[in-house]
Chains A and B, each alone.
Chain A
């Protein structure tokens, strides 16, 4: 498969259209059988309608611009994406947080969130509000330009919890998913983070890694994979980190494109459906998280955001109207891609959900 440096949107690809993606997800298999509706599976386990357990995390997507074009990206992020959260919208997020003390964590994602020109201002303001800030850093951004080289120091100053994607402890699979040379740069960036104390025992500076399978298969055994990652990264590159989060690839956007192009779509969907785990369904992250888009609109999760599936109409639609009581009483919007979060030991931005 050719590695494209353009987003699906930049290629004017039909899968850049969220309605088209949802249509693919609704199609029967080549044998004419319909995959069981996700909502119906929840109903079988008394989990429908799916409702929040109380919002404690605000996940904010500050823009789709990225220095990478990973093959599995559910955001369809890339250098050609211009959607960026403005400082005014960031201020609306800060206003919402000021009135929502139960939200203790703010999870910043993108794109590469650091490419937003107001990123550092936003992190400072969020930490001034006393919130724990997570930054989903793609690692290579630290080396992409001189102006980003001091990010490890900046993260340290603000006690940012750094969560970074590294799909494998070797270049071959990492580069196949994330682009040529990404592994080498990621290793250098991790060493820079380690050098200021990130991932080091007793430093209090958290550095977690995210493992996404580099193909049409599911993650398995987070604890065992974490041990293997720790062993291989320490012995090969003297790198240390805290935890490994295993995240299942959801069949949307560029990963859906990969599945369709490689002829793996049906078997992957079947795998997800067969691996449905009610315990994982009960612990999905959309029950304690609200996702904010670059333009301030609200979603149940970052995946729903990319499919333009906004929160239920009963709840506030935009961050300017943020109100936790109404949001905590909404019904979470579901579709077939949700099978990705309920397969096996479950999947969330914090890894497995069934311990």
Chain B
């Protein structure tokens, strides 16, 4: 085991997960490839969504991969940062909206 949990070189080894379960691994990667194809959304829009989600799940591999992928797809810095503010708004909002639950509980137990 490495001395750190994350090693940048492991990103390139993602495909190796098929070694221990080829069928499911292949299905996952085929699905993955199809998801990111140009469709109702452009490939660039999907890359920006992936970047935002990468930050929400705080996956360093995904942040590494989709920062570059966004550049390759022609996204600019402002678009990338706005995508992250969507992450922050949703994550912050998700915390704060539970404030209603807190308020309900406080009111329930208060005179």
Listed in ascending order, the chain A residues whose CB lies under 8 Å from chain B are: 168, 170, 172-173, 213, 215, 217-221, 224-225, 228-229, 270, 274
Contacts and interface: CB of A to CB of B under 8 A. Distances in A.
Nearest to B77: A172
Nearest to B68: A217
A224 B12 contact: no
B38 interface: yes
Given A224-B38, A270-B12, A170 B74 contact: no
Interface string B54-73: 00000000000000110111
Contacts of A170: 76
20 contacts: A168-B76, A170-B76, A213-B72, A215-B71, A217-B71, A219-B72, A220-B72, A220-B74, A221-B44, A221-B72, A221-B73, A221-B74, A224-B38, A224-B44, A224-B73, A224-B74, A225-B74, A228-B44, A229-B74, A274-B12
Interface of B: 12, 38, 42-44, 68-69, 71-74, 76-77
Instruction: Give the interface SS of chain B, mostly helix, strand, loop or mixed.
Output: helix
Contacts of B73: 220-221, 224-225
A224 B43 contact: yes
Nearest to A214: B71
B67 to A, nearest CB: 9
A215 B74 CA distance: 12
Contacts of B74: 220-221, 224-225, 228-229
Nearest to A211: B74
B33 to A, nearest CB: 14
A77 B77 CA distance: 29
A318 B53 CA distance: 57
A219 to B, nearest CB: 7
Contacts of B71: 213, 215, 217
A220 B77 CA distance: 17
Contacts of A218: 72
Contacts of A221: 38, 43-44, 72-74
Contacts of B43: 220-221, 224
A218 B71 CA distance: 9
A145 to B, nearest CB: 32
A172 B78 CA distance: 11
Contacts of B42: 224
A266 to B, nearest CB: 11
Nearest to A216: B68
Most buried by A among B43, B72, B76: B72
Contacts of A217: 68, 71-72
Contacts of B12: 270, 274
Given A220-B43, A221-B43, A224-B44, 5 more contacts: A217-B68, A220-B72, A221-B38, A224-B73, A224-B74
A224 B48 CA distance: 14
Most buried by A among B12, B44, B74, B77: B74
A229 B73 CA distance: 11
A219 B44 CA distance: 12
